Copies of this chain bind each other. A is one copy, B any other.
């Protein structure tokens, strides 16, 4: 396919690939339940070098997918979700690195999830899909990395839930990575995170079209509930300052108050649009499963002590990570994963003897800053990757 007309720093036209495993022996989940076969949708950009030392795994957030960079076709108006950071000469320079982005299990973008066919029953899973954890998600990614013939990833990187996966790689698969970049994330979902997740789920449950998750065969889908869930979440991705700057109290297509319940303020119109457009691209059951996976995430609990009992210490979770280089980044206006949660990660990594750089970036963009602050992120991630490649002898 010709890539004419695309920007020169773009990876070009990309295609999604699919890797299926656990088709013989099922994959055992953290819950004890089994799942198989499992398909992961993924994309790759750049070339794996001869000694297979230049692979970077990009880890997506709640609503992301494998399509992180480039365009699906020449008609495509929007590039992948992190195209600003992935491409020739960009932070994850595809002239130097082999970049992989894999959709997580449970999602609705080509990987096995609640909307997939259950071969055992001949029906779509719905709520019979087993609950998965960040640990399960990462172990599935490990299978993909095995499949691609990569012994050790140069770096794993992601923001938000992607950052949880990066930390999970470091805590439980330290021998498989040389570096990790957790952005705007936490090592432990706290009561507020769980509360925000739960109210989103409640909005979906409350929609009669959800039908206990068994809506795939009919024409009624829980769009109204999913839209409300997305609107709640979207507010948490912004900050008071960024919402004020974007919308203030400006009215939408009117000069004075209408004193009714139609959209009056621009921010209302924006939110309704965010909710509606999300229903056209995401599956409500996937929303339930992925938020649940985030709620379970707590590296401080999962570290096993010498007596076999859980040790409530984040440093213990990173005991095997002392040879990994970390770049931890938080943003001053992120109230979903505030800076002190990144500082707790940095303290634990430091206590574990790891090599950690930490930046708390001044930004008004809220949680979304890791995607929005392009210039800062490019400079920061680019120099970290450059140093890493030199230190690890990646050519």
Contacts and interface: CB of A to CB of B under 8 A. Distances in A.
A338 interface: yes
A272 interface: yes
A245 to B, nearest CB: 9
Contacts of A26: none
Interface in A287-319: 288, 292, 295-296, 298, 301
Interface in A213-259: 224-225, 227-228, 231-232, 235, 238, 240, 243-244, 246-249, 257, 259
A257 B206 contact: no
A355 to B, nearest CB: 29
Contacts of A238: 192
Contacts of A240: 190-192, 338
A27 interface: no
A130 interface: yes
A271 to B, nearest CB: 6
A201 interface: yes
Nearest to A338: B240
Given A202-B275, A260-B131, A275-B202, A192 B235 contact: yes
A247 B191 contact: yes
A386 interface: no
Contacts of A189: 249
A199 B249 contact: no
B228 A203 contact: yes
